[in-house]
Structure 1
Amino acid sequence: MSEKRNQHVVPYKDGWAVKGAGAERATATFTTKQPAVDKAREISRNQGTELLVHGKTGQIQSKDSHGKDGFPPKG
């Protein structure tokens, strides 16, 4: 079974890539951002890991946890 890694959506060549944390190669590439986010979210949900979406500059824009959150929201 493959190692569970947080999934990152990052700028890639002329589009966007889904990459597991620490991976050199992209899991998948897309010409636009939204399909990359959708694919990364699917992988993250299946693996119970975090999804980190980066902007064009590489800075993290948003995070979404699909794992066991040690600090779940109250309410």
Structure 2
Amino acid sequence: MSKNDRYVVKHPKGWAVKGAGAERASSVHQRQADAERAAKQVVENAGGGEVRIQGRNGRWRDSDTVAPGHDPNPPRDKKH
């Protein structure tokens, strides 16, 4: 566990981004995908670490390692 790690967890107002051991959320988002993007951006800016994502059922559903300079929102190919 790194000090840069962030967690996307359920929150009464949607989905929260929290640091390890933090009681308060650093940000709250209506959509889980938005919280995940925000968490990855924070971790990238902090020099890399891990983002863990909680599912709707409260269990951890995913984990991503983010390296410095990683683009959390790579361009997508458009299909016509």
- What is the TM-score normalised by the length of structure 2? 0.73
In structure 2, what is the equivalent of residue 66 of structure 1? Answer: 66
Distance in 1, Cα, partners of 2:19 & 2:57: 19
Q: Which runs of at least 4 in structure 1 moved beyond 4 Å after TM superposition?
A: none
Deviation at 1:31, TM superposition (A): 1.0
Gaps of 5+ in 2: 69-80
Aligned length: 66
Please tell me the residue identity of whatever aligns with 1:55.
G
* Gap runs ≥5 in structure 1: 69-75
Residue 5 (structure 1) shift: 3.2
Asked if structure 1 preserves the Cα contact closer than 8 Å seen for 2:3 and 2:20, the reply is no
Output aligned runs, 1:1-75, within 5 Å: 4-47=3-46, 48-67=48-67
Contact 2:7 2:51 in 1 (8 A): yes
Conserved in 1, the CA contact under 8 Å of 2:50 and 2:63?
Answer: yes
1:59 is aligned with what amino acid? R
Counterpart for residue 71 of structure 1: none
- TM-score w.r.t. the length of structure 1 is 0.77
Instruction: Tell me by how many angstroms 1:46 deviates.
Output: 1.6
Contact 2:6–2:19 (8 Å) recurs in 1: yes
The percentage of aligned residue pairs carrying the same residue is 35
8 A Cα contact 2:13 2:28, kept in partner: no
